[in-house]
Amino acid sequence: MEAIKVHYDVPGDDFTRAGEASGMLKRYLKKIGFAPDVIRKVSIAMYEAEINMVIHAHGGEIDGEITPEKISVTLRDQGPGIPDVDLAMQEGYSTAPDNVRSLGFGAGMGLPNIKKYTDEMKIETVLGKGTTVYFSVNAQ
Amino acid sequence: MTIADIIRILNAQIICGEDHLDTELHSACGADMMSDVLAFVKDQSVLLTGLVNPQVVRTADMMDMRCIVFVRGKEPDDMVVDLAKEREIVLLKTPLRMFTACGLLYESGLRGGCEK
């Protein structure tokens, strides 16, 4: 079976809409019939990454690839990049501004959470150019 | 415990989701930090929070939660309510503060669900 491909554009100017793409993919995976725990892992990881994209990088693009074996998601932004990926992966480390914290985010759990809920995760980042976050969740 | 029970115990008002009063709920989580909900919650069906922005509904949706209780008399705006209706998540509000609301539900048998 050929992989199903999905694409979402994430606007960077409206935090209230952050998470729309994750919601759409979640409902789509449910419709296809993946197991609830697989769907939840993908949803949480993508939601965290999508929120990051809006907070730090003025939005970006998300591409998903779905096969019966695994769900892969790639999030690309043209934001400032991550100066120290190891530091950013530490639980509790955050550079989110105060207004984002007042909305319930910025606890420094985003990237660690993506790692926790996925089977594979990669970050490629170039300062001043942008960041690509890739992750996949095995479905079987 | 059902959503109708929660309304009674917390002296809560229903904002949306009247059709789901019989939904059974077994565990809950109280948090104002959505990042923590995403990081630590597992199989809880109720979220108690003092935040009223759309990300609360989106977070609950990602975690498959069925009911959000806004504490401290917080009132969500129409956008939040519409989003909850679309995702079939019940919204309640209670004048009680977080600690009291959580305590009353715990006393009535609702649990945290992720005790290690």
Q: Contact A48/B38, CB-based, under 8 Å?
A: yes
Rounded to a whole number of angstroms, the distance from the CA of B61 to the nearest CA of chain A is 8
Q: Contact B64/A109, CB-based, under 8 Å?
A: no
Q: Do A47 and A19 meet the contact criterion of CB atoms below 8 Å apart? A: yes
User: What DSSP string runs through A9-43?
Assistant: EEESS-GGGTTHHHHHHHHHHHHHT--HHHHHHHH
* Domain span including residue A131: 4-138
Please report which confidence band the pLDDT of residue B114 belongs to, taking 50, 70 and 90 as the band edges: low
Q: Is the pLDDT of residue B76 over 60?
A: yes
Token look-up 């003092």 returns: B50
What is the reported pLDDT for A14? 86
Question: What is the rounded average pLDDT of the residues B31-40?
Answer: 90
ipTM score assigned to the predicted complex: 0.90
Q: Is the pLDDT of residue B115 over 60?
A: no
Question: What is the rounded average pLDDT of the residues B82-106?
Answer: 97
CATH, residue A37:
3.30.565.10
More confident residue, B42 or A56: A56
User: Burial of A89 by CB count in 10 Å (0-12 exposed, 13-18 middle, 19+ buried)?
Assistant: middle
Q: Contact A104/B55, CB-based, under 8 Å?
A: yes
Rounded to a whole number of angstroms, the distance from the CA of A1 to the nearest CA of chain B is 28
Q: Is the pLDDT of residue B42 over 90?
A: no
Of A52, A112, A18, which Cα lies nearest the Cα of B58? Answer: A18
Low-confidence ranges of chain A (pLDDT < 70): none
Measured CA to CA, the distance from residue B7 to residue A73 in angstroms comes to 40
Question: What is the rounded average pLDDT of the residues B86-112?
Answer: 96
What is the number of structural domains in chain A?
1
pLDDT tens digits for range A48-85:
999 999 999 999 999 999 999 999 999 999 999 999 99
Q: Which of A16, A105, A113 sits opposite B54 (nearest CB)?
A: A16
Please report which confidence band the pLDDT of residue B9 belongs to, taking 50, 70 and 90 as the band edges: very high
DSSP B2: B
Contacts with A51 from chain B: Cβ below 8 Å:
55
Please report which confidence band the pLDDT of residue B116 belongs to, taking 50, 70 and 90 as the band edges: very low
Please report the domains of chain B, with CATH numbers, ordered by start residue: 3-107 (3.40.1390.20)
